[in-house]
Amino acid sequence: MKMNNLSDCYTLSNSVEIPCIGYGTFKVTDNELVIKTIQTAINIGYRHIDTAAIYDNEKSVGHAIKSNNVVSREELFITSKLWNSEQGYESTLAAFDKTLKDLQLKYLDLYLIHWPVVKGHKEDCQKSIMDTWRAFEKLYKEDKIRAIGVSNFLPHHLNILMANSETKPMVNQIELHPGQNQSETVLFCQKNNILVEAWGPLGQGKMLNNPTLKEIAKKYNKNVAQLCIRWSLQNNILPLPKSVTSSRISENANVFDFEINNKDMEIIDTMPYSGGSGLNPDNIDF
Ligand code: NDP
């Protein structure tokens, strides 16, 4: 589907609609700043907010949602993520309750397992993932979450989940930007009707001075951030750009009035690896 504005949606495999650009909140912990920036984002038209227990801002995100007088809760799509130390059945249920309480919400739109392999569980990651997923399935069946998914999962992690569960993940949120196209994981997800979300869609800022991207962006009278976001959309990927700067929050949403041509898409699709975090989901130590 061609997206024309921030409230246009992708449709998940369970038919839930998810607004096509999410507003990222990583590293924003100051209460006033969280409230101010989310208010700005909502005023501009963002309807999708991405947070996580580990970001230490769920309470502030909750205040921001509650105190806004532009949209109702139902018009917003709120994602959070289960932190690594809480993987396991009972611990997931408890962590979810805390997330919901901190966000002052009655339900979440999307809940993700933040990382597949966590500290201390490299050997038994299969059990850890499946215990966690059973809790996700329970919460989903109880209508406490509208969609469930994962983050930073590679195809071999997704295979574990899909071979052993009733409910397939609806989303996989991975590090993805020009210069880190994750083609194998994207292909796997798209074949299996799992929507791919891009974290670090601007390479966490590192791609913004890339000469190839600068040259292409100039042709369209856009900046590199806008090019990166548009590139995600044209690849049927949902980007989650983060900014605390009002002008950037606005320009990151101004991506619906141009189309990257096939030749430029191919150049960006095939750019060599550059600008990633270097994190390997099989080898993280947090
Ligand atoms: P991004 O790729 O979104 O880059 C954010 C950086 O780019 C900030 O320094 C921001 O600066 C800057 N920036 C944003 N827009 C512009 C612009 N138009 N021009 C110039 N600079 C700009 O990185 P993130 O790591 O924040 O990723 C996005 C979101 O993805 C996170 O906020 C989080 O929600 C999610 N995420 C998920 C992870 C996971 O493991 N699932 C891991 C990491 C992130 P400033 O804010 O100062 O304006």
Q: Could you tell me the distance, in angstroms and rounded to a whole number, from the CA of residue 162 to the centre of ligand 1?
A: 30
Q: Could you tell me the distance, in angstroms and rounded to a whole number, from the CA of residue 143 to the centre of ligand 1?
A: 30
Query: Relative to the CA of 177, which ligand 1 atom is closest?
Result: 2
pLDDT of 161 reads 95
CB atoms < 10 A from the CB of 277, how many? 12
Name the residue with the closest Cα to ligand 1, atom 38. Answer: 199
Among the listed residues 55, 89, 111, 140, the single catalytic one is 55
Among residues 163, 181, 184, 283, the alpha carbon closest in space to that of 237 is found at 181
Q: Could you tell me the distance, in angstroms and rounded to a whole number, from the CA of residue 77 to the centre of ligand 1?
A: 18
Among 242, 255, 277, the mutation site with the greatest number of ligand 1 atoms within 8 A of its Cβ is 242
Query: Relative to the CA of 198, which ligand 1 atom is closest?
Result: 30
Runs of H (alpha helix) within the chain: 31-44, 58-67, 89-103, 125-141, 155-163, 183-191, 211-219, 224-234, 246-251, 262-269
Q: Could you tell me the distance, in angstroms and rounded to a whole number, from the CA of residue 242 to the centre of ligand 1?
A: 4
Between the alpha carbon of residue 45 and those of residues 6, 52, 170, 239, the distances in Å are 6, 21, 24, 15
Q: Could you tell me the distance, in angstroms and rounded to a whole number, from the CA of residue 241 to the centre of ligand 1?
A: 5
Cα distance between residue 45 and residue 210, in whole Å: 29
Name the residue with the closest Cα to ligand 1, atom 35. Answer: 199
| CA count, 13 A, side-chain hemisphere, 127 | 5
Cα distance between residue 89 and residue 218, in whole Å: 50
Cα distance between residue 169 and residue 171, in whole Å: 6
Q: In the annotation, is 273 catalytic?
A: no
Give the gyration radius of the chain's Cα atoms.
Answer: 18
Q: Per-residue pLDDT tens, the chain, 286 aa: give them.
A: 689 999 999 999 999 999 999 999 999 999 999 999 999 999 999 999 999 999 999 999 999 999 999 999 999 999 999 999 999 999 999 999 999 999 999 999 999 999 999 888 888 899 999 999 999 999 999 999 999 999 999 999 999 999 999 999 999 999 999 999 999 999 999 999 999 999 999 999 999 999 999 999 999 999 999 999 999 999 999 999 999 999 999 999 999 999 999 999 999 999 999 878 999 999 988 9
Residues with CB under 6 A from ligand 1: 24-26, 50, 114, 151-152, 173, 199-205, 208, 225, 240-245, 248, 251-252
Q: Could you tell me the distance, in angstroms and rounded to a whole number, from the CA of residue 55 to the centre of ligand 1?
A: 13
Query: Relative to the CA of 50, which ligand 1 atom is closest?
Result: 34
Residue ranges covered by each domain of the chain: 9-269
Name the residue with the closest Cα to ligand 1, atom 27. Answer: 200
Name the residue with the closest Cα to ligand 1, atom 13. Answer: 243
Superfamily of domain 9-269: NADP-dependent oxidoreductase domain (3.20.20.100)
Query: Relative to the CA of 81, which ligand 1 atom is closest?
Result: 41
**Contact present, 240 and 24 (Cβ < 8 Å):** yes
